[in-house]
Structure formats: C-alpha cells, structure tokens
Structure 1
Amino acid sequence: MIYDPARANPLFGNPLKTRDDLAKAVIDLFEPLLPYFSEGCARVRLGAAGAIFDRAAADLEGFARPLWGIVPLVAGGGAFPHWDLYRRGLANGTNPAHPEYWGDLADRNQRLVELAAVGFALALVPEHIWEPLDDREKKTVSSYLLRARELEFIDNNWKFFRVLIDLGLERVSVAFDHRKTLAYLDELEAFDLGEGWYRDGPVRRVDHYIPFAMHFYGLIYAVLARGDEARKDRFRGRAQTFAGDIRHWFGPDGAALAFGRSQTYRFAAGGFWGALAFAGVEALPWAEIKGYYMRHIRWWSAMPIADRDGVLSVGYGYPNLFMSESYNSPGSPYWALKFFLPLALPGDHPFWTAEEAPQPEFPEPVALKPAGMVAMHTPGNVVVLSSGQQHDKMLGANEKYSKFVYSTRYAFNIEADDRNFSAASFDGMLGLSDDGVHFRMRETLEEALIADDLLYSRWRPWSDVTVETWLLPENPWHIRIHRIATPRTLSTIEGGFAIERADFNADRSEHAEGRAIWYGQTDVSAIVDLSLHLRTGQAMSPIPNTNLIHAKTLLPQLRCEINPGSTLLVTAAMALPIHENWAKALENPPGRPNLDELERHSREKGVSVPAFALLM
C-alpha cells in the first residue's frame, strides 16, 4: 500500500461537527500512545529525537500532556477507559524509589511545566486520578507537587503553572501557603499591555502564547479558583476584549496565523475559543465563537500531522524538525489537546447548542496596535503586516517574528542554509548580503511605530547599515517601502508569498524586469517592483521542507544590487487562490506611494508599538 499521510491523522474521517465528534477525537488522538507507555506507566517515550531537557522530563511530557484533553472529556461526562495508566504512572513517577521516577525538581525545570497538567486533573477530576490512590501514594504525589510549587518558574506564562498546581492541591485538600500563588498572579497581571493583550514575560514579542497560554490559563483560574473575584473578573474582561482582535489571526477556512514560536502545538491555537466557553465569556456571539473553534479543528483534520502509527509529529502542516525549537521533544505536540477544554461543559451549554456562524466580513484593514500588526482580509486568507516584535534566541527566530507579512493561508519559510544567499527564499522579507554568500535580514529593531494602518520600523542588518521600512495594506496587495543607507555595495533579494508546488513541473512562472509571478495549481503569487529603478524578477522554488504548511513551494522574488549611499526600494506583493479573480488583481497593481506623506503620517500619528516598547 502507498502511505497516505492524511489517513495517518487520527482526526481523518471525523466530521468534527458536534460535541460527540470532539469527544471521539480525544480518544482517537490518545489511543496511538498506548503502546508507548512504560511498564510502570510513568513514562511515554514517542521518539528518539532529543530536547534541551533530559529524557525523564521528556517522558513526563509524553505522559502529562494528553491530560489536557482527557480531563475535560471526563469532567463533562465522557468515558476514558485508561485511568489505571495515569494513576499508576502518577504514583510511580513521583516516587524516588521507583525506577520510573521522573527525577528531582529544580528551578526553571521542564518538570514544573508538565506538573501543571497534573494539577489541572486533580482540580477537575480527583475522583479518577487522586481518590483511588492509597494514603502512601497520596503522600508521595502531594510531596512532589508541594516541592514543585516552592521553586522558581520562568518569568513568563510559566508562572501560571504554579497556579494550576495549586488549584489541584487545593481541590484535594492539601494545605500550602497561598502567598506565593498570589504573588505570581500579580506578576502575571503586570504583563498586561492593554486592549486585552499581554506580553509573555519581559520580552518584545506577543504570539500564540497570549491566547493559548496567558488567556487560556487565566480563564481556567476564573472558573476553578475560590474567591479572588476581582482578579477573576479582570481575567474575563481582558479575554472579552482580546477576542475582538485575535479573531483576525484566523482565516475563513479555520487556519490560524502561522506566526511565532511553538507552532508544533498546532490546534492549541484554537484553545482560546474553547476557554471562552469554559469560562462563560460570550465575547462574541456563541455562534461566532463556535464557528472559529470548529473550523479550526476541521482544518487540522485534513493535514498530514501524524506519523504512520497516528502519533502526532513534531512539525506544523507535516512532520518537520527543521522548524522546531530546542524545547520540543517527541511528546511536545500533545499540548494541542488543550483545544478540547469545552468538553467539560454539558451538552446543553449555549456554546454547544449554537449553530456555527461564518467569519464576518472585514472589508477594511484592522489595526492590532498592541501587537504592531495590521490585518487585511483577502479571499480565503488573512494577511497580517507586522512590525514591532522580535526574538533573537532560537533557530528561525527572525523568520518566526520579524518578517514583514504573515498569512493564514501561506505560511512562512525558515531559511535552510545561511551560507547560500542565492538559494534563500526571503518570503515576506528583504535579505541583504555584502559578500554574496552570507546574508542578513530584519532581526531586532531600533524603533517600531504604528499609525492607523501604517507600520514603520528602523533596523540595522549590520552596525553601519540602516534600513527604514514602511508597510501599508492595499487589498489584496500590500506595499513595502525600504530606505536603505549603506557605506558599501549590497546584494538584495525580496520575496513574496510561498505557495504550494505541484509535481511534474505542472506550475507555470513568469518573470521579467520589475516582476515575478507563479501560477500554481491552487494559488497565484506575485511580486511587483514599484521602485524608480526596477529590480530583476525571479521565479524560484525554495529548498524543500522549509515552509510550515507545504513541503515544496514556489516563490516570486525581486533581486538587485544597491550602491553605497541611500537607496529606495518599493514593493507590492499579493497571493490569491486560483479560483479567485487574480487576473484582475494582476492587471491593477497599486501605484507607488508618496514617501514624504507616509513619513509625515508615521511621525505625526505614530505611537510606539506596545509589544516593542518594553519598560526594563
């Protein structure tokens, strides 16, 4: 038989229309893990690839993360036939005398992360995972959790993990000092950026950790915590406001915006919509919330996201270690099961009884000021212009945070070879080289402003080269303007959107002075030069396995060499599904904007992007 990667997806064939469909999905996602439980049930090892933490912590990750789906399933009345595995595993993993002991705890250690799922289970379904334990086992488990909560957690969303451990201990009547819980909650609230947004710690970035971590855990706290009503109201209020913005990170087909780190958590991105339901926050009409939620899981059900045996792979649209982070172990993707939180609600909850509503139409650009983004809804897609975020401490950080544009339909590429300038893709990005081999792109910023739907940034690819970039929407196009000041000659490559490549060279390209176009089987992607001196168009195919969604892609580019002094590059780029009126769009590219007017507007109306304006 020929391997069919879609059929390996445990969600394949599930219509994912009803609460029962989602309950089935949890079991279908869990069952491929059964052969990998260790004899003592405390370890679940799903592969040979490593992470920055030790194997015992990685095995704990494989054990604990499925609980994020199992617990709400059972809390809502669903059946899970394997609780014996979790009871045995919990007792053995926390027992220093057992061969499958998870290991001693330490500050900022990965075990602290995974124990949050245990706390969540104790808080919601103690009758399944706690009460059947004998007194000795209960003492062993509680001692381990009590040691964990005394340690230092990383200064970001990790601080919620102590809170979740504490919710579990409180539910099973284990005494502890609540002052540390309250201190962490105060510190988490200090990450509030306003308008419903947080930052994930003292960093210049916001990403999917805001919906699937900061808001997700805050809403769980709002439901499960005793007292603390004012804080719980604040958590609900921020989530209600945030929903109006984060919906612009989801396309009409359910795809989420591929942006930032930890993309291998996949449908965890939709967990925010389920958390709203869990906390009873009707931030949008229930029908609209349910539409965003259900479309998202259906989008994933059609993707080849699992290995042959149905175990979720590290990757995004397909198995791909290249886009992963150093903290991704083979068990990491199971944080995706946070998506299933609303299964804890009864079937007659208005979230479940509502009929799905389609995504509303947004004909005008939408400014997401705290994030330094402008969203533009195009056919089958949401295009998000971005300036004001950065992360320079991981593989692919520039591509994950610093491109000019991101998309729900056309995911970004990660550069595969930083010593091969001519083969680099630079989709949604400007690449520069001073030797024709190595290259730089936008990484960290010196300034980031948002003025209505105009974005401005100033950045230095080298200490003696300055680039100023303006971004503005022109639906379905967007425009990029780069003013480059350099003391030496530089080579430049600028890319449009990467689209899927077909086999047998079935796609068609067009490239000439000032433009390049790919006519794919599913989409058309174009880039047009609006500069006074036209660059050379090139239609290239990036190195395989560099795009998050498609293993093979096509990409239009503009290339040129710039001389010492000041150079102005002006670019228009767009991509559309093949069934849309792309021909009309190609015939009517935008004109070159007046830079003096844009510069004046950005200076007079621009405000520093809150995500970037970090107060140290």
Structure 2
Amino acid sequence: MDTEHRAEPPADDRDDLGRQVRDLVAPLIARFSPGGGRLRLGVNTAHYDQAASELEAYARPLWGLAPLAAGGGTFDHWELWRAGLAAGTDPEHPDYWGAVFDRNQRLVETAAIGLALALAPEQIWDPLTGRQRDAVATWLRHAVTVEPNDNNWLFFPVMVGLGLDRVGVAHDRDANTARLDRLERFDLGRGWYSDGPTWQRDYYIPFAMHYYGLIHATLGDDPARAERFRERAATFAQDFQHWFTSEGVAVPFGRSLTYRFAQSAFWGALAFAGVEALPWEVIKGHLLRNLRWWADRPIRDTAGLLTIGYGYPQPHLAEQYNAPGSPYWAMKALLPLALPAEHPFWVAKEAEAPPLPEVRSQPEAGAALLRCEEGRHVVMLSAGQHSPRMRHGAAKYAKFAYSTRFGFSVPAGTLGLEQGAFDSTLALSEDGEHWRPCELPHDPSSPSDGVLRARWTPWDDVEIETWLVALPPWHVRVHRISTGRALRTAEGAFAVDRDRPPTRADTGPGRARLDSPHGLCVIEDLSGRREGALIKALPGTNVFAPRTTIPTLRGDLPPGEHLLACAVLGLEAAASPEPEAGWPEPPTWASIEPLL
C-alpha cells in the first residue's frame, strides 16, 4: 500500500504498546536465576517438570520483546535473555533446560526463541561467543528433529527453523516442509482450520494456526504457501470479527483462556504479514480495543505478575498445562511492534467496529454469533464441540451459550446446583444431588440461519436432542428428551455478578428473572412445566465475576418422552428497562416451532 501521502501515526499508539511490553516484563527481572536460564515465578502445578516450567517463563516474554527490538524499541535487560539462552542450552550449566524430546513442553517454548532469533538476532544471538552459539544451535537443531503433537505444535519446529535460517544455521528443512504440508491438511475451508484431528474450533485457530502461518508467510521462502496462508487468514477475518463486541470484548470460550489478550493476536499478525483483510483502521481498532479492555481487568498480582485465570486470578480455571509463566503467551498480541512507524497499520487512525449482522452462523465452528444491544453484547451459541480430556472441558466447550457480558462458569464440585454452577446448560439428576450437564454433544447439524442442533446421551437410556435458536437479543433452547428413568432437571440462564444487590428479582412458575447493576438476565419456560429459582453458585466459578447468581428453571420428569423449551435473555445493566416498564416479553412457542 502506498503510504507516501499518509499522515503521521496517531499519537502514541505504537509507543503505548512498547511501554506495555516493558511494563509486563519489568516484574520478571528480579526473578531470574543467577545464571539467567530459569525464570522462577512460583510453584509449578502443570503436568510438565519444573525445568520446563521455568523455561516457559523465560521464553514467553520473547513474544513481545522480539517484535519490540525488531521495530527499534528500547529495552534495557537483553543481557538477561542472552545469558539465559546460553545457560539454558549448555548441558554443563546448572540452568540447563534439558533436551527437547517428542511431544514435550520444551518444544512449545522453542517457538518464541525461534521468533527472537528471526526478528532480533542483534540482541540475542550476535553478542554470544562462538561456543555459546554452537550450544544454542545444537539444542535447537535437535528440537527440529523431534515429534510434535499432531496439531498446532507442528508449527513449533517450523518457527525454530525460521530463526535458524536467519542466523545461518543449517537444519532439517525437509522435515519442516513435511510439517507444513500436514498443517495445511487441517484446512476446513472458508478460512477455518481444525487444530489437528479434533473437534476444537477455539482461539487456537486465530492465535496459533493463523498466527504462525502468517509469520511463516512473512519470514519464510515459500511464496505459494505464503499466499495460501494469507488468503485463508483474510477469509477467516470476516468470521472472527463477530467474536468481538463493538467495545473490544471477546467471547470467553474454550481452553487456554489464561492467555487472555492473545485472543486478539490474530489482528496484529494480519498487520505483520501485510494482509489488509479489513481496512487497516478497522484491524487496528479490533486489536487496540481488546488490549485496552484487558488493561482495565484485575489480572495481575500485587507484584505485577500476570496471574492464572481470566477476568481475575482464578487458578480453578486452569488446564493441566498451565504453570506460572503460561499467561505470558498473551504477549503474542504485541507482534505489530516489529513494524516500522510508517507502516499503514500504525499510520491508520483507529476506526470503530463496523456494523455487523445480528446473527452470523459459522458452520466450521458449530456456532452462531448473536450481536445484541448495537454490538455491545455478543453471545455465542455452540453445539457440537467437546473436549472430554480437558479440565472442565464440558463447561469450556459444551454449554449452550457463551457471553461477553456474563462469561460462563466452571464447576466447583459434583454435589448440588451451587457446586455445579450450571449456567447456560441443562443438568440432569436422579437424586437431586449428583448432576450431569451436557458434556459430549454428537451428531451436530450444520448451523444455518441461527439454528443449531445436537444430540447427547448423559445415560445409556437417556437421549436428548437439543436445538438452539438465535433470536437477538433472546435465544431459545428446545430439548426433546427420551428417558428410561425418572429425572430432575435444572436449566440455567447466564450467571450474574451478585456483589451488588439486585434492583429487582422475580421467580415463580415458568420464570426466573434478575435485574442488577451488572446486568439483566431472564429465563422463561415456554413449555410450562418448570419452576424458577435463583441459584447462588459457589465463589470462583465464573470467569468474569467471583460471586454469581444463576436464574434457573427446575422440574421433574418421569420415564418417557418429553419436550422442554425456554427463552433466555441477557442485557447490559445500562440497557435494562425501568422497573415500571415490566419484564421483557420472550418469543412465543408458536414463533419458534416453525424454525426447528
């Protein structure tokens, strides 16, 4: 793009991101081991060993530091990362990280080191001695030979290869070509990938599959493949923009939410690769609004370290692969710092989010996105995704709705509705104590016109067919239940922050309603068989609010065939009607039935 006649970059956008890198890294400086190879941020509770955890904490800040250096930004502590790279790759040093081996966490962290070598060799490679370079090269060349997991991990040795190419170290390029060929087989069309042969269509598609592909398209030497990566990313952007509100809030959904603002890294990767999938001012707005929103969240501890959690410190949310340094993957969002100030991305004036349709069906993700309240609230309806081996996998993938206003909740136990925190799902019980929500949906239909369908079988003799219907700002859930046993049911709406008293509440036959300074939430029974209740979930279950109340419909089912239906509404507090205006009217069953 011709930039000759463009104005100067808007004030401080680029400088602000540079300061953000230095601010995030500053609390780390005092936590290096004496030799520099380990960054010790706390007790490791991940499944991998302590050395890998401390390598992770060392490496992940490089996602921000390397672009900062490439773009000419200043940083006063590169000597720590240089010393750490030399020590961590030296088998004779106490800080040695250990060799990378097949499907091992160390391979994950080599990707950031590869990017640092590719973007900032003057800082992290050139000052090393010949012996130190040999040790680094040997360690990284070996990393290119190991077996990654069959998913986005295939990109990690590719990233290492880009770094080794930049510093003139020979490696097995054919192995990386084969990995890239395999990665392209995960292309689903319309810009979507799967993350390996799995059901997941989550943030790993934008911040891993597309992110690394766009870096390779920019730094690699395969023009045909680069063009495919760019074309897919440009197409994906048309869908991905629907995952963000007009104020920059992204839908919390899926695993690895502790990576937080990595969710907007895709927008910066588009800029890095020169892909104007949307006007530059729109791409810039998507990135910067999300970063500003995160800057206002209590996600750092008193020492300034990023915490494990999402909207606040919440270790209960963590996956089995989250160690103290894991959250620093968020720094992937700062990649555009590698671009010069005169790049069109930086020169562009940030634009507001463009108007988008109220409903966007995304068949590849098994989802439909609802834009409510002029785009200030986004709800994702989901059917067909699951992750049975992931901690809290059912809550992260198999709930019916995920909201940018109300988030979602993970269970605190198996006894009672308070422990289960069953927002946005239907839970079933034989005894009223032990509950089973939707966990493994199967046979999903392709979402069309905002209607989704899937089946699930919580017991061998219980089969449920569920439809989700987008009718912004409402959504409707319909369940056809065939059961060979008597069941109790509980179906939750959204979880509402209860730290401030509600302005009004109402429960009774067929309804549970709550209006508070944090938002309005309503669930109305369209099948006329259930009783409303307000369930106070145990603290620390919701990803946005530490303490929540869930408007819920409860009822009993004898053995046989049943049809349950309800309408759910969530609104911002500012959009809630005045009490004297009454409660919002739900869609009628007569208007829903023809859509199924």
- TM-score grouping bracket, smaller chain normalisation: over 0.9
- Aligned pairs, number: 582
> CA distance change for structure 1 residues 16 and 457 in 2, over 3 Å: closer, same or farther?
farther
More displaced stretch, 155-164 vs 402-411: 402-411
Partner amino acid, structure 2, of 1:209: Y
- Distance in 2 between residues matched to 1:398 and 1:585, nearest whole Å: 35
CA contact (8 A) 1:251 1:409 kept: no
Query: What aligned pairs does 1:482-561 form with structure 2 within 5 A after superposition?
Result: 482-503=479-500, 505=501, 508-531=504-527, 533-561=528-556
Query: Which of 430, 450, 456 is residue 459 of structure 1 equivalent to?
Result: 456
Q: Deviations over 1:437-474 (max 9, x none)?
A: 21111111231002332101011111211000011111
> CA distance change for structure 1 residues 154 and 103 in 2, over 3 Å: closer, same or farther?
same
Match of 2:6?
Answer: none
CA contact (8 A) 1:16 1:294 kept: no
User: Is the counterpart of residue 429 in structure 1 residue 429 in structure 2?
Assistant: no
Query: What aligned pairs does 1:280-359 form with structure 2 within 5 A after superposition?
Result: 280-359=274-353
**Structure 1 residue 172: Cα displacement:** 0.8
- Distance in 2 between residues matched to 1:38 and 1:535, nearest whole Å: 60
**Structure 1 residue 415: Cα displacement:** 1.0
Classify the secondary structure of the residue corresponding to 2:437.
coil
TM-score (norm 1): 0.92
- Distance in 2 between residues matched to 1:444 and 1:210, nearest whole Å: 21
CA contact (8 A) 1:197 1:370 kept: yes
Match of 2:4?
Answer: none
**Structure 1 residue 43: Cα displacement:** 0.3
> CA distance change for structure 1 residues 363 and 206 in 2, over 3 Å: closer, same or farther?
closer
Gaps of 5+ in 2: 1-9
Query: What aligned pairs does 1:51-450 form with structure 2 within 5 A after superposition?
Result: 51-226=46-221, 228-379=222-373, 380-421=376-417, 423-449=419-445, 450=447
**Structure 1 residue 126: Cα displacement:** 0.7
**Structure 1 residue 595: Cα displacement:** 6.9
Classify the secondary structure of the residue corresponding to 1:574.
strand
Classify the secondary structure of the residue corresponding to 1:579.
helix
Q: Deviations over 1:292-347 (max 9, x none)?
A: 11100000011000110000000101111101001000000000000100000111
- Distance in 1 between residues matched to 2:386 and 2:249, nearest whole Å: 23
Gaps of 5+ in 1: 1-14, 600-616
More displaced stretch, 39-48 vs 448-457: 448-457
Partner amino acid, structure 1, of 2:267: W
- Distance in 2 between residues matched to 1:546 and 1:247, nearest whole Å: 28
> CA distance change for structure 1 residues 409 and 587 in 2, over 3 Å: closer, same or farther?
closer
Match of 1:610?
Answer: none
> CA distance change for structure 1 residues 70 and 253 in 2, over 3 Å: closer, same or farther?
same
**Structure 1 residue 432: Cα displacement:** 0.5
Partner amino acid, structure 2, of 1:566: E
- Distance in 2 between residues matched to 1:585 and 1:198, nearest whole Å: 45
**Structure 1 residue 254: Cα displacement:** 1.0
- Distance in 2 between residues matched to 1:483 and 1:288, nearest whole Å: 43
Classify the secondary structure of the residue corresponding to 2:246.
coil
CA contact (8 A) 1:376 1:382 kept: yes
Partner amino acid, structure 1, of 2:299: I
**Structure 1 residue 436: Cα displacement:** 1.6
Match of 2:3?
Answer: none
CA contact (8 A) 2:417 2:535 kept: no
Q: Deviations over 1:140-179 (max 9, x none)?
A: 0000001111000011101000100000111111112211
Match of 1:7?
Answer: none
User: Is the counterpart of residue 579 in structure 1 residue 561 in structure 2?
Assistant: no
Structure 1 runs of 4+ off > 4 angstroms? 593-596
**Structure 1 residue 553: Cα displacement:** 1.4
**Structure 1 residue 275: Cα displacement:** 0.3
- Distance in 1 between residues matched to 2:563 and 2:11, nearest whole Å: 50
CA contact (8 A) 1:65 1:334 kept: yes
**Structure 1 residue 506: Cα displacement:** 5.3
CA contact (8 A) 2:502 2:514 kept: no
Partner amino acid, structure 2, of 1:475: P
